[in-house]
Amino acid sequence: MKRSSARLNPRITRRDFLNGSALGFGAALLTRAAPGSAQEMAGVGDPLLGNDWYGYGGVGDFRLSHGNTPEVVNSAHYLRDGGFPAGQEEIDADEQFDLVIVGAGIAGLGAALEFSKRRKPGQSCLILDNHPIFGGEAKENEFDVNGERLIGPQGANGFFIPAAVDDPEEASGDPRYYAELNIPREYRLQEWPADRKPLSFSPDNYEYLVRGLQDHSSVGHFFTTADSTEGQWAVDMWQRELANTPLPDATRKTLLQWYRTGATRQFASDADAMRTLDQLTYKEFLESKLGMGPEAAGYADLFLASAAGLGSDAISAYAAYKSPMPGLMDTPPPDLRRNSFPGGNSGFARHFLKRLIPDSITGGENFEDITLGRVNFGALDRSGQPVRMRLNATAISVTHEGNPATADTVRVVISRNRQLHAVRAKAVVMATGGWINKYVVRDLPAAYREAYQQFQHAPFLVANVALTNWRFLEKLGITAAIWNKSEDDFGYTCNIRNPMQVGDYRPPLDPDRPTILSFYTPFYYPGLPVEAQVRIGRAELLSTPYADYEQEILGQMSKLFGSAGFKPSTDVAGIILNRWGHAYSVPFPGFYGGASGNAPRDVIRRHYGRIAFGHSELDGLQHYGPAADEGRRAFNQLANAI
Ligand SMILES: Cc1cc2nc3c(=O)[nH]c(=O)nc-3n(C[C@H](O)[C@H](O)[C@H](O)COP(=O)(O)OP(=O)(O)OC[C@H]3O[C@@H](n4cnc5c(N)ncnc54)[C@H](O)[C@@H]3O)c2cc1C
């Protein structure tokens, strides 16, 4: 990546960084050499990450937890590299719970919700998470730009309003939790004044990438050629049938064919579709079954890599069918819209938590208070309450006390505040992914270990840029940008949302006032094997210092928007990086079982002894409703054991 000379206003950067209070993190870690401490870890595996990697975190409750923290990455890699040796695990358990749930993402919260409904009097549950706050990939960033409170998603960000159900207990997935958590079905967005330049906006960070839904946003495609850095904008190119693009005729023809192609296959059942389509990639489907040129798969990468981690050369055609993509599904109905809470899916995580621990979020049991209230950290881990949550707590060992088939308890060793302690549980739900479970669960049977070896996890970077104004976007007539990525580019898409208005939280929709520009940035390398793509991407994500990404982002913005008056020194107030090392489990061909129907996830979905596994990755297309369902299923497999 070429480094740009563009620089953030140094005064703003320094101030914002100090506000982030991540300051001194590395130093704090290095004060003692307790088990699992930085000093001890320094001898093992990867170099330690610190503040120069993590950077500014914004303001508010989530400021210390944006993406994976350096501490989480350091201790996870320490575990992977054989750290926390067996001798250190022989610690007596000093607390007893009926259930321990590892992971406070949506899956863990789903397991806890089911426990809270089914528990017998006196039963207790402890939820552990290695981050400083709950939510997993469904967290939020908060900025204060010139007195304006702005909230944006760190990762999971949007949803469709599901069908209403009379009895949530009879439902599953999105409709179940939507009804059960009393989430409203109507939302307020900002009106775009009729006397301004016509502009339309995605309410989330995906809609502008989805075939058929793209038309709801003012999307600019930025085209460059190999011999020139000057670019050319094509605004609303799909509505104009690509006539305003510099693309050759043959490419236009292919892209339009792809865009307009509805379902070309009918299946007797979902199982039939799964068996048939899970044998080839989406790219193979487009090219060998529909005879399309490579440009179609190339454009499809934009959405697929954002939603599933890698592009169409890696993603199963069945996952594309469920997404749904051209050639496998018809164009969505024109009035279908996405939605996004202020902090994206942290809105769902907040609703789960409020139900589990009523005073965990300040304010009442209503949408506004739950969505915007401050987290009451003191309420999370009080003894005596049925559900407790312990943060900054990494489970480093989970093992049955005895033979898994007959043991009465499971011991969980936790690393927290540079100390190890252990708790005992009658059952454990691992609401965490395979990349870590295979190291943490010490008596994992060989078949599970082999199944987990087949999973591939793609990294992801969400960069939220707080802007003091977005006059440069208005001048271009766009609210979302897509560029034909070259080696010198950062990312390939970004947008501003029409921000949801909730109670007194009324972020503006005015080019002269602040907003958040979000870059959703996957790492994919078409043509390479899946495992190589995720490995190279993760190395890039983990090895790039904050300052380098900051410069790359500002350089990219200057390249895209400089001609429309963008100035980094005055227009950017702060940048938060949310790095997810294992963001998505990639649904490659065979993930769902392929022709044989034997999928690695089927092995993981069986519990053994008193341990069960429930995590969004098992669904193949990670999403909040199925994530909570996986957690619920895992708890129910163990309900009789507690
Ligand atoms: C960039 C991005 C965009 C997305 N967009 C959407 C979207 O628009 N809509 C949608 O519905 N979904 C979206 N998703 C999918 C999202 O992943 C799921 O919806 C869901 O939030 C995942 O929940 P989970 O509990 O399965 O996993 P996670 O959120 O990963 O939660 C697992 C938790 O366990 C913790 N943990 C791991 N190991 C340990 C350990 N040893 N000890 C203690 N804690 C541990 C993890 O750090 C994490 O906090 C997106 C995901 C990403 C990455």
What stretch of H or E contains 116? helix 106-118
Task: Using the predicted structure, report yes or no on whether residue 19 has a pLDDT greater than 90.
Answer: no
Sign of CA dihedral 353, 359, 360, 364: positive
Q: What are phi and psi of 268, to 5 degrees?
A: -65, -30
* pLDDT digits 0-9 by tens, 280-308: 999 999 999 999 999 999 999 999 999 99
* pLDDT digits 0-9 by tens, 376-412: 999 999 999 999 999 999 999 999 999 999 999 999 9
Q: Contact at 8 Å (CB) between 45 and 81?
A: yes
CA separation for the pair 219, 477 (Å, rounded):
8
512 Cα to the center of ligand 1, angstroms = 35
Least confident window among 4-13, 504-513, 574-583: 4-13
Task: Using the predicted structure, report yes or no on whether residue 114 has a pLDDT greater than 60.
Answer: yes
In this structure, the number of other CB atoms found within 10 A of the CB of residue 576 comes to 27
Is the CB of residue 157 below 6 angstroms from any atom belonging to ligand 1? yes
Better-predicted residue by pLDDT, 43 or 361: 361
- Closest-CA residue, ligand 1 atom 30, reads 136
Task: Using the predicted structure, report yes or no on whether residue 27 has a pLDDT greater than 70.
Answer: no
Unique residue bearing structure tokens 């501003």:
496
Q: What would the two tokens of residue 361 be?
A: 């979020």
Specify the 3-state DSSP secondary structure of 389.
strand
Q: State the average pLDDT over residues 517-543.
A: 97
92 Cα to the center of ligand 1, angstroms = 31
Rounded to 10°, the helix 624-638/173-180 angle is 80
Q: State the average pLDDT over residues 139-158.
A: 97
Name the pTM for this structure: 0.94
Q: What are phi and psi of 374, to 5 degrees?
A: -80, 150
Which residues contact residue 219 at a Cβ distance below 8 angstroms, ignoring those fewer than 6 apart? 208, 235, 236, 237, 238, 478, 479, 480, 481, 482
Q: Contact at 8 Å (CB) between 258 and 294?
A: no
The strand ranges marked E within 212-341 are 219-225, 228-235
CA separation for the pair 296, 286 (Å, rounded):
8
Which residues contact residue 628 at a Cβ distance below 8 angstroms, ignoring those fewer than 6 apart? 106, 107, 109, 110, 113, 176, 177, 352
Q: State the average pLDDT over residues 495-522.
A: 98
Q: Contact at 8 Å (CB) between 74 and 49?
A: yes
136 Cα to the center of ligand 1, angstroms = 4
Q: What is the pLDDT of residue 87?
A: 65
562 Cα to the center of ligand 1, angstroms = 35
Q: What are phi and psi of 410, to 5 degrees?
A: -125, 135
Task: Using the predicted structure, report yes or no on whether residue 26 has a pLDDT greater than 70.
Answer: no
Is the CB of residue 436 below 6 angstroms from any atom belonging to ligand 1? yes
Q: State the average pLDDT over residues 308-327.
A: 97
Q: Where are the domains of the chain?
A: 10-77+138-194+457-585, 84-134+380-452+597-641, 247-337
- Which of 71, 126, 137 has most ligand 1 atoms within 8 Å of CB, for mutation? 137
CA separation for the pair 630, 636 (Å, rounded):
10
Please report, to the nearest 10 degrees, the dihedral formed by the alpha carbons of residues 572, 578, 579, 582 taken in order: -150
Q: Contact at 8 Å (CB) between 559 and 431?
A: no
CA separation for the pair 237, 214 (Å, rounded):
10
Cα 531 to Cα 57, 194, 526, 528: the distances in Å are: 31, 50, 12, 8
Q: Contact at 8 Å (CB) between 310 and 526?
A: no
Longest dimension (CA), the chain: 73
Q: State the average pLDDT over residues 566-589.
A: 98
Task: Using the predicted structure, report yes or no on whether residue 439 has a pLDDT greater than 70.
Answer: yes
Specify the 3-state DSSP secondary structure of 501.
strand
Least confident window among 41-55, 213-227, 307-321: 41-55
Is beta strand 394-400 parallel, antiparallel or unpaired with respect to 93-102? unpaired
Is the CB of residue 36 below 6 angstroms from any atom belonging to ligand 1? no
Q: What is the pLDDT of residue 40?
A: 57
505 - beta bridge partners? 502
Task: Using the predicted structure, report yes or no on whether residue 436 has a pLDDT greater than 50.
Answer: yes
Is beta strand 515-522 parallel, antiparallel or unpaired with respect to 387-390? unpaired
Q: What is the homologous superfamily of the domain 84-134+380-452+597-641 according to CATH? A: FAD/NAD(P)-binding domain (3.50.50.60)
Summary count for the chain: helices (H), strands (E): 22, 16
pLDDT band at 4 (very low <50, low <70, confident <90, very high): very low
Specify the 3-state DSSP secondary structure of 83.
coil
Q: State the average pLDDT over residues 344-355.
A: 98
- Closest-CA residue, ligand 1 atom 50, reads 156
